[in-house]
Amino acid sequence: MANPADAPHIDMMRSQLGRARGLGAARAGSGHWWAQTVTAIALVPLSLWFVCGMIRMIGASRADVVTWLSGPLPMVLMLATIVATFHHLQLGVQVVIEDYVHQPGLRLGSLLLVKGASVLLALLCMVSVLRLAFGM
């Protein structure tokens, strides 16, 4: 005879859609997906701005670059580009690791390494931009 504890639980008060809405397999997938989508959308205009800015800087002297980057808008846009790029990178690599690394210890180590490297590289880029912008 079947064990009653093994029987599926049926919640009569909620619809199928109500039970499934916003809950992925780990109940956190939609937040990760939204973060990746928002950074991807933000990177489209930021990347276009960055490429156009760098094309304008071809042949420019260091003083010209410092003058351009020391303006409030270019500095903020450059810092936003760095933050969005490295956050998007970290989210994408995290998905790859979670999908393809099956040993729990190696998975955790890889995730920590990617997150740490992303933060350190983003900080390095941000410090470089700030030093350049302030003429140091």
pTM: predicted TM-score of the whole model, two decimal places: 0.76
> Is residue 40 assigned to a domain?
yes
Residue 22 lies in a domain: no
Q: What is the pLDDT of residue 59?
A: 94
The residue segments making up the domain with residue 109 are 28-133
Within a domain: 94: yes
Residue 111, C-beta contacts closer than 8 angstroms, at least 6 positions apart: 94, 97, 98
Q: What is the CATH number of the domain that holds 89?
A: 1.20.1300.10
Tally of structural domains, the chain: 1
Q: What is the mean pLDDT of each run of 10 residues along the chain (136 residues)?
A: 62 61 60 91 96 94 91 95 96 92 91 96 96 85
Asked whether residue 76 is domain-assigned, the answer is yes
Is 41 within the bounds of a domain?
Answer: yes
* Residue at token pair 């700030």: 130
Classify residue 15: in a domain, yes or no.
no
